[in-house]
């Protein structure tokens, strides 16, 4: 079955960067799209961007351009998201989700909590 396993919680200092991973299994990663989302606890969900694993092509929410960089490693069926120049406003849970039928998100990772604190 389809699985998306995200990396563990991160505690990072302001100004630093962090790389989150989303390891997949159970489907053909190299021809799939993956999206990433941000959710501050108790708040709604924001779409960060999407990447096509076939060629690494990306599309970003303008709000996250310069903050997030999406990449993939097809050899390990893993998607990555780099978050740079972190501030306390970047403290949130970040989810990966595979694009499925009719552009829906039927498969989600369990989320990674990023805490930015000195």
Partner 1 sequence: DVVLTQTPSTLSATIGQSVSISCRSSQSLLDSAGNTYLYWYLQRPGQSPQLLIYLVSNLGSGVPNRFSGSGSGTDFTLKISGVEAEDLGVYYCMQATHAPLTFGSGTKLEIK
The binding site for partner 1 (CB under 8 A) comprises 35, 44-47, 59, 61-63, 95, 97, 100-106, 108-111
Nearer to partner 1, 103 or 118 (CB): 103
Q: How far is the CB of 69 from partner 1 (least distance, A)?
A: 16
Nearer to partner 1, 54 or 111 (CB): 111
Q: Which residue has the tokens 């799209």?
A: 33
Strand 10-12 and strand 112-116: the pairing is parallel
DSSP for 55-95 reads: T--EEE-GGGBTTEEEEEETTTTEEEEEE-S--GGG-EEEE
Nearer to partner 1, 15 or 57 (CB): 57
Q: How far is the CB of 62 from partner 1 (least distance, A)?
A: 7
């Amino acid at each position: 079955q389809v699985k998306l396993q995200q990396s563990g919680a991160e505690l990072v200092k302001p100004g630093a960067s962090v790389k989150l991973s989303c390891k997949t299994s159970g489907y053909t990663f190299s021809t799939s799209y993956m999206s990433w989302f941000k959710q501050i606890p108790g708040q709604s969900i924001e779409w960060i961007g999407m990447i096509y694993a076939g060629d690494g092509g990306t599309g970003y929410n303008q709000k996250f351009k310069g903050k997030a960089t999406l990449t993939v490693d097809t050899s390990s069926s893993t998607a990555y998201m780099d978050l740079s120049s972190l501030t306390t406003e970047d403290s949130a849970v970040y989810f990966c989700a595979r694009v499925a039928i009719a552009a829906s998100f039927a498969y989600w990772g369990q989320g990674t909590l990023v805490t930015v604190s000195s």
